[in-house]
Amino acid sequence: MNNSLEIQNLSKIYSNGVKALDQVSITIENGMFGLLGPNGAGKSSLMRTIAMLQSPDTGAIFFNGSEVQQKPEKIRSILGYLPQEFGVYPGISAWDLLHHMAILKGIDNSAERTKQINQLLHQTNLFQHRKKAVSSFSGGMRQRFGIAQALLGNPKLIIVDEPTAGLDPEERNRFLNLLAEIGEHVIVILSTHLVDDVQELCTQMAILSQGKILSQGNPQNLTKNLNGKIWAKTIEKQQLPDYQSKFRLISSKLMAGKTKIHIESEKAPGTDFEPVTASLEDFYFSILQSQITQS
């Protein structure tokens, strides 16, 4: 079944005056959806609002046509959530903790509970560690455990908030492959500040910054808009301010002691620039740059 999550005009101002969400509207269907944005953009605020852990000041969320605010228990029954911070893991075994969480999720039938837990432990490659305390797990194992608990009860909507932070490359790959497998039949929203996470996995995405959606669509299509407009050059670090003031500089990276810059321009900015194929990272930085210029 195709599921749809419709987010309409969500806004949230915290009591300290921070505007974390500003008229956010997105429609999300089955598959992997990447919510990309810098630290403090409002990603966790949006994830927590969709998970019904906090309410927006204005706006509405619909899941398969029903407004979720009206029926919070309905969204909870179809939701799997992996928060950014899980807090302190208790010193009990992975199996026992999943068992406890399955009961909280309302999986009352004990045979069904055992079947699901065993299946999830296999799927997340944790079955051989099921008797170990979750508090003794490595970062990658914890995140996989986090996905196992989020998948209890076969959710149709899965939210994972910055799941790859702190994982080594191998663990990150394993974790992202697991998400991609799951994302085929349900909605998975992956919130991240890493462009690579979105580029590798997501069919749809949105860029959030300062509480606003700056752009949304298919990553490849969005990137195409910049084709023929990205120019690279290697410079000395001290030349950076000069290039910054003369051109629309969208990124700079230190490479083997030199600085590689990317400039956005309709035409070659000079003979010593080489044209490069636009990447999602170029698009992301270009969009963030436009927001800074406008504000």
Ligand X SMILES: Nc1ncnc2c1ncn2[C@@H]1O[C@H](COP(=O)(O)OP(=O)(O)OP(=O)(O)O)[C@@H](O)[C@H]1O
Q: Shortest distance, CB of residue 55 to ligand X, whole angstroms?
A: 12
Give the one residue of 20, 120, 147, 263 binding ligand X; rule: CB under 6 A.
20
Nearer Cβ to ligand X (85/236): 85
Indicate the DSSP class of residue 272. T
* 86 binds ligand X per the rule CB under 6 A: no
- Integer angstrom CA distances of residue 150 from 19, 155, 197, 207, 273: 29, 8, 19, 24, 48
Phi, psi of 43 (to 5 degrees): -60, -50
User: CA torsion 145→167→165→5, rounded to 10°?
Assistant: -50
Q: How far is the CB of 170 from ligand X (least distance, A)?
A: 23
Site for ligand X in 135-194 (CB under 6 A): 162, 193
Task: Candidates 1-9, 41-49, 137-145, 268-276: pick the segment binding ligand X (CB under 6 A).
Answer: 41-49
Q: Is the CB of residue 231 less than 8 Å from the CB of residue 273?
A: yes
Minimum separation from the CB atom of position 4 to ligand X (A): 24
Q: Which of 4, 9, 18, 86 binds ligand X (CB under 6 A)?
A: 18
User: Which SS3 state, helix, strand or coil, does residue 167 take?
Assistant: coil
Q: Which of 1, 2, 39, 292 binds ligand X (CB under 6 A)?
A: 39
Q: DSSP 3-state assignment of 91? A: coil
Q: Where are the alpha helices (DSSP H) in the chain?
A: 43-50, 72-78, 94-104, 110-123, 139-151, 169-182, 195-201, 219-224, 240-246, 280-294
Binding mask 192-231 for ligand X (x = CB under 6 A): -x--------------------------------------
Q: Is residue 44 within the footprint of ligand X (CB under 6 A)?
A: yes
Answer yes or no whether residue 42 interacts with ligand X by CB under 6 A.
yes
Question: Is residue 17 part of the contact set for ligand X (CB under 6 A)?
Answer: no
Nearest-approach distance from CB 67 to ligand X, in angstroms: 23
Long-range own/partner contacts, residues 163-171 (CB < 8 A, 24 or more apart): 163/82, 163/190, 163/192, 164/192, 164/194, 164/197, 165/84, 166/139, 167/139, 167/140, 167/143, 168/139, 168/140, 170/140, 171/138, 171/139, 171/140, 171/143
Instruction: Please say which residue, 162 or 282, places its beta carbon nearer to ligand X.
Output: 162
- Alpha-carbon distance of 210 to 265, in angstroms, equals 25
* Segment interacting with ligand X (CB under 6 A) among 14-22, 26-34, 128-136, 233-241: 14-22
- Min. distance of Cβ 235 from ligand X in angstroms? 31
User: Closer to ligand X at the Cβ: 162 or 281?
Assistant: 162
Query: Of the listed pieces 12-20, 72-80, 225-233, 245-253, which binds ligand X according to CB under 6 A?
Result: 12-20
**Quick check: 40 binds ligand X (CB under 6 A)?**
yes
Tokens of 77: 């029954």
Total interface residues for ligand X by CB under 6 A: 14
Query: What are 100's two structure tokens?
Result: 């406890």
CB closer to ligand X, 3 vs 84:
84
C-alpha to C-alpha distance for 223 and 264, rounded to whole angstroms: 13
State the residues that interact with ligand X by CB under 6 A.
14, 16, 18, 20, 37, 39-45, 162, 193
